[in-house]
Amino acid sequence: MFIENLIKEIEKRDTNMYGKDFLLTWDKSQDEVEATLLVSEALKKLHANNVSTNIFDTGLAVSLFRDNSTRTRFSYGSATNMLGLTGQDLDEGKSQIAHGETVRETANMISFLTEVIGIRDDMYLGAGHTYMKDVAAALDDGYKNNVLNQRPTIVNLQCDVDHPTQSMADLAHLKDYFGSLENLRGKKIAMTWAYSPSYGKPLSVPQGIIGLMTRFGMDVQLAYPEGYGLIPEVVELAGKNAAQSGGNFKVVNSMEDAFKDADIVYPKSWAPFHVMGERTKLLRAGDQAGLKDLEKQCLANNAKFKNWECDEQKMKLTKGGKALYMHCLPADISGVSCKEGEVAASVFDRYRLETYREAGHKPFIIAAMILLGRFRDPAAVLAALDRRAKPRLGF
């Protein structure tokens, strides 16, 4: 009955996701965001009930990771496998890309029998999202000119602007934790910078959070030390989203202010917008000496804000002292993974299982993005899977 109710809810949503990529959450309508959550829930329930969700008989799921990854890499592999696709990693070092092959060529050459391409490109500010759009344009051209039998769907596994699989998994976790999306209205979430003994962490997680949670009537507070701002256009977008949803969006320069009476806290380190821009220039120029000098400057600046740690004292400022702690993982845990970091060991350990549950939504979110992009009638697909009830484990 639970699956049937989810299917009915999916049918109520006005979606236009077939044949479309999932690049930025703010490019998707409210119905499309909610449909993604609902399809994810249905797939998760079917899997828990030992029902096979293989909807492809053949086909490749290509992945391109230009940055290190654990959760997203394995979530993408799990998602594509549960849908029946064969994974194929595009290793640029082993391809002709190193010999000057163009994006237009590569996109078509890897796509003859491909259903989905997952891309993680978050290293270069101003480049990751642009690269994904270039791949999309090349696929459009190949399909239009009958080079490709089908136009693969692209899923953004993290870029310089947004991390939609993470923010959508976070939203799914919040929906579960508080009971419904409606129950998120008025809840205060503190998306705060936190100290890390490393530099160069992408902006896409905090940008994804403020860009998505402001759409659900939440009280979103973005906190960071002076000079650690995000991409201005995304901050402006968050303000507009809050105004439209009846929520609130505020930028503060105090972790304590953001934590005060918060229902949810999300302390996460990131590099300042201007630093990421400078880093991109140096990376492209291959200026190793410049990169080392920039890192030295940034680490020294970070060290001025070691008090930006999610510790027990700050947690006491939250609503009832029991705000939900969230993190995309891996967290810099003081005294565990580093001497001083984003979160006190006692706080992290108390919420460790919740962060694992948070991450556990990601495979199903990614699978939902693929299903919605490849099938015209997702509700009918899920209903057919439920009726067929083919055991995932055959015994």
Instruction: Tell me how far apart the alpha carbons of residues 231 and 60 are, in angstroms, rounded to a whole number.
Output: 35
Q: What is the DSSP letter of 186?
A: T
Instruction: Collapse the DSSP code of 262 into the 3-class scheme (helix H, G, I; strand E, B; otherwise coil) and give the result.
Output: coil
**Residue 283's pLDDT is what?**
86
Which contiguous run of DSSP H or E holds residue 360?
Answer: helix 345-360
Range in 66-75, 340-349, 365-374 with the lowest mean pLDDT: 66-75
Amino acid in the structure at residue 291: L
Expressed in percent and rounded to 5, the helix, strand and coil fractions of the chain are 50, 15, 35
**Residue 388's pLDDT is what?**
94
Which band of pLDDT confidence, cut at 50, 70 and 90, is reported for residue 259?
Answer: very high
Mean pLDDT to the nearest integer, 149-166: 98
**Residue 96's pLDDT is what?**
65
**Domains in the chain: boundaries:** 2-162+361-388, 167-359
Mean pLDDT to the nearest integer, 262-272: 97
Phi, psi dihedrals of residue 218, rounded to the nearest 5°? -85, 160
Tell me the two tokens of residue 269: 């380190």
Mean pLDDT to the nearest integer, 121-139: 94
**Residue 94's pLDDT is what?**
67
**Residue 224's pLDDT is what?**
98
Give strand ranges (E) for 94-240.
Answer: 114-121, 153-159, 188-192, 219-223
Instruction: Tell me how far apart the alpha carbons of residues 244 and 26 are, in angstroms, rounded to a whole number.
Output: 13
Q: Which residues pair with 192 in a beta bridge?
A: 223, 267
Instruction: List, for residues 89-128, the tens digit of each pLDDT value.
Output: 998 876 666 557 899 999 999 999 999 999 999 988 999 9
Q: Which residues pair with 222 in a beta bridge?
A: 191, 251
Residues in the chain: 395
Nearest Cα neighbor of 257 from 192, 335, 204, 195 is 192
Q: Is the pLDDT of residue 275 over 80?
A: yes
Mean pLDDT to the nearest integer, 307-317: 98
Task: Give the fold, CATH level 3, of 2-162+361-388.
Answer: Rossmann fold (3.40.50)
Instruction: List, for residues 195-207, the tens digit of each pLDDT value.
Output: 999 988 999 999 9
String of b and e for 320-337 (b: at least 16 CB within 10 Å)?
A: eeebbbbbbeebbbbeee
Tell me the two tokens of residue 72: 């997203």
**Residue 268's pLDDT is what?**
98
**Residue 218's pLDDT is what?**
98
Instruction: List, for residues 343-356, the tens digit of each pLDDT value.
Output: 999 999 999 999 99
Q: Is the pLDDT of residue 1 over 70?
A: no
Answer yes or no: are the C-beta atoms of 200 and 279 closer than 8 Å: yes
For residue 238, give every residue at least 6 positions away whose Cβ sits within 8 Å of its Cβ, in sequence order, or none: 210, 211, 214, 220, 222, 249
User: What is the pLDDT of the chain when averaged over all its residues?
Assistant: 95
Tokens 């828990």 found at = 48
Hey, how many other C-beta atoms are within 10 angstroms of the C-beta on 395? Answer: 3
Instruction: List, for residues 30-54, the tens digit of each pLDDT value.
Output: 999 999 999 999 999 999 999 999 9
Answer yes or no: are the C-beta atoms of 344 and 8 closer than 8 Å: no
**Residue 90's pLDDT is what?**
93
Instruction: List, for residues 182-232, the tens digit of each pLDDT value.
Output: 999 999 999 999 999 998 899 999 999 999 999 999 999 999 999 999 999
Which band of pLDDT confidence, cut at 50, 70 and 90, is reported for residue 394?
Answer: confident
Instruction: Tell me how far apart the alpha carbons of residues 9 and 20 are, in angstroms, rounded to a whole number.
Output: 21
Check if 2-162+361-388 and 167-359 are the same fold.
Answer: yes
CATH class of the domain defined by 167-359: alpha beta
